Amino acid sequence: MSVDASQANKPFNLVLTGGRAAKLLYENIAKNSELFCDYENVCVYTTDERCVQPWHDENNFSMIKVSLFPRGLPKDITFHRMRAETEDLNAACDHYSALLPDSLDVLLLSMGEDGHIASLFPHSPALLETEGKVVPVTGPKAPYQRLTITPPVIQSAKQVYVLAIGDEKRCKYEEVLLDPEDISSIPARLVLDRTWIFDLDKEIDLCRKL
């Protein structure tokens, strides 16, 4: 997750995921207090959000902020939050879509046991989205209502890292390889050609590449 020096004065656009493995990664990153010192303009976004209040236990924004920035946001970092708690979810999608840049510098995803990434679940209509950047979706378990980035946003990212930590997810990855074109059944196939992380202990240098 490195940035070319020639891009130093441009915003560095970083999109982060939720999940247990991601939380562990963020906590490791947070131990390096100088991690973001070389960047003057970092914009942080989330891949998806459950439609809960910002202080809810399952709110990705809150989890990332507490885990990655326990001492508060550094002065040159802007963290954009999905307003998923609002009643008008389409308006919330439009608002976040306007914030997202056309191309992301780094996107961190985490694959679920069912093969979903962000909140793009198997057979979700959102997998067919070709224009919108953020759409409302319904997940398989409570809290059901969510907002998520779409395939065009994922595919536009310059660097994509996918967390697949644990034996169950490694087995799912092996299934991903069997039929790469069947994205509907396993949405993680959207990023099959990107960088996959299977062991945080061995790949923890990912923290230093942000």
Helix (H, G, I), strand (E, B) or coil at 12: strand
Amino acid at 179: D
| Cα 50–chain centre separation | 13
User: Sorting pLDDT into bands at 50, 70 and 90, what band is 37?
Assistant: low
Which backbone phi and psi does 115 adopt, to 5 degrees? 90, 10
Cα–Cα distance, 74 to 65 (Å, whole number): 11
Residue 101, SS3 per DSSP: coil
pLDDT per position as a tens digit, 122-165:
999 999 999 999 999 999 999 999 999 999 999 999 999 999 99
d(CA 12, CA 21) in angstroms, rounded, equals: 23
Q: What pLDDT, in 10s, does the model give residues 165-195?
A: 999 999 999 999 999 999 999 999 999 999 9
Distance between CA atoms of 16 and 119, rounded to whole angstroms? 13
Q: What pLDDT, in 10s, does the model give residues 74-127?
A: 888 999 999 999 999 999 999 999 999 998 999 999 999 999 999 999 999 999
The pLDDT score that the predictor gives to residue 39 is 63
pTM of the model: 0.91
Structural domains of the chain, count = 1
169: domain range? Answer: 5-209
CATH number, residue 164? 3.40.50.1360
Q: Is the pLDDT of residue 3 over 90?
A: no
